[in-house]
Amino acid sequence: MKTRRDFIKMSAVAGTAIAGATVATSSLARLPDPVTQTSPDTASPIKTDENSNYNPVVTLNGWTLPFRMNGEYKEFHLVAEPVVRELGPGMTANLWGYNGQSPGPTIEVVEGDKIRIFLTNKLPEHTSIHWHGQRLPNGMDGVAGLNQVAVHPGKTFVYEFEAKRPGTFMYHPHADEMTQMAMGMMGFWVTHPKNEHPWISAVDRDYCILLNAFDIVPGSETPNIMTMLDFNLWAWNSRIFPGIAPLVARKNDRVRVRVGNLTMTNHPIHVHGIEFEVTGTDGGPTRPESRWKEVTTDIAVGQMRQIEFLADEEGDWAMHCHKSHHSMNAMGHDVPTMIGVDHRGITEKIRKLVPDYMVMGERGMADMTEMTMPLPDNTLPMMTGDGPYGSVEMGGMFSMLKVRADLAPDDYSDPGWYKHPEGHQAYEYNGELPELSKQLTPGNSLMAPKSQLASAHFKAVKPTLHKG
């Protein structure tokens, strides 16, 4: 892999500027070398003189694409190609993406920059790129057949426009969109303000998360591109928990999180432990007087939202989509609900024929985290991820905001698990318990907690009206 530093050294400023909207043959001869990244780790931001007036973004489990200056243009090179993405430890997927990854690298520029992007197509079919949310010339909008000829395999096309307004944007194909987006072709774009903006605050940390989803049958590696709604893997930047990196902040840092949604449904993103404000939408920064405190914001299909908060409470705070099935990994949605069904008699009979048969879902789905039943190859458990006190019982769109007082300003590494001060953690009550007869009705004994199934209290408890 070429590093960003190597790329910058290699990409010296060209002697002749390229003017206007056309690209001369001589400039094409100086096509920037593509930079490739395949690691699923989160790359740290690179501080340069060029970005000294803003804090560069950090893409969770991703990276920012380096550029070279060619006259007055910032030049980038994107390569559309098949990629292999590690969705989580032990599971990979055959996807399509850019420069070795899905999503592609984040493009980061400054308001007023003149941008030139080379797109080389190494896919087995034609493609294009739409610059989602950007103000640009119509012929640069990237809709194949409408604004341009499609980019066929082996061809390189050039897009040129000015970054006219600051904000959070995305890029994705507008050619065979159903296939190419289902296969993971998308990326993030951030335009920073050139000067101080009355509605855009300086932040200490700036994160990017692109919401995407896949339907990958357990044991396989290639997404089902025909799925419209019933996806089984809900991802942030093509990663699923426990493969999603934490968002790290120093206590009292001001944090911005930019979220774009390129799935087929909305996602209510919820952050524990803090209140945030929505400071930006698809249209740009929001007016300060229009903001209010929230802990959850719903992000519809094709929308971008940026939220900001003060990380003033230490701890490991959950951050996730609040649609419960979106914080799980591959699951069969057609499996019947077995809660309260007595399996005991039938289980013994089935095990005579199928020795490894296991009861699932009799008292809820949490039992699945304890099962030792083998999984198909290249599949992760539905509810997984261990914390310091046991299974977190989550998957999919789940991560953590880790706030620490002793973190260095530029440190984005995982600080490990939080050590709770004395008196700051829930604990078991060991005092006198009330009589069960005043608390429980007979109900269905199969719904009783495991530890109490054998208790005589559940065999002959009479309903009691407890008058207070």
Structure token pair of residue 299:
């992000």
The domain in which residue 122 lies consists of 4-207
In a domain, 419, yes or no: no
In a domain, 174, yes or no: yes
Residue 468 has pLDDT above 90, yes or no: no
pLDDT digits (tens, 9 = 90+) for 404-433: 999 999 999 999 999 999 999 999 999 988
In a domain, 141, yes or no: yes
In a domain, 119, yes or no: yes
In a domain, 345, yes or no: no
CATH of the domain at 192: 2.60.40.420
In a domain, 168, yes or no: yes
- pLDDT of 363 reads 57
In a domain, 357, yes or no: no
pTM of the complete model: 0.83
pLDDT digits (tens, 9 = 90+) for 278-307: 999 999 999 999 999 999 999 999 999 999
pLDDT band at 223 (very low <50, low <70, confident <90, very high): very high
Across 26-52, b (16+ Cβ under 10 Å) vs e yields ebeeeebebbebeebebbebbeeeebe
Helices vs strands, H then E, count in the chain: 4, 23
In which residue are the tokens 């989160």 written? 42
In a domain, 226, yes or no: no
User: First vs last Cα of the chain: how many Å apart?
Assistant: 71
Distance separating alpha carbons of residues 455 and 452, to the nearest angstrom: 5
State the Cα torsion 91-96-102-103 to the nearest 10°: -140
31-45, 141-155, 221-235, 437-451: which range is least confident on average? 437-451
- pLDDT of 437 reads 56
Distance separating alpha carbons of residues 269 and 382, to the nearest angstrom: 20
Mean pLDDT of 126-150: 98
The answer to whether 303 and 282 have CB atoms below 8 angstroms apart is yes
Q: Which of these three, 185, 207, 229, is where a domain ends?
A: 207
Residue 4 has pLDDT above 50, yes or no: no
Distance separating alpha carbons of residues 125 and 24, to the nearest angstrom: 27
- pLDDT of 439 reads 57
**Domain count of the fold of the chain:** 2
Q: Which of these three, 207, 239, 262, is where a domain ends?
A: 207
- pLDDT of 350 reads 73
DSSP string, 37-56: ----SPPPPPP-STTTTSPP
Mean pLDDT of 131-135: 97
Distance separating alpha carbons of residues 160 and 362, to the nearest angstrom: 59
**Longest alpha-carbon distance in the chain:** 91
**What sign for the dihedral angle of Cα 55, 256, 98, 132?**
negative
Residue 332 has pLDDT above 70, yes or no: no
Q: Which of these three, 176, 207, 238, is where a domain ends?
A: 207
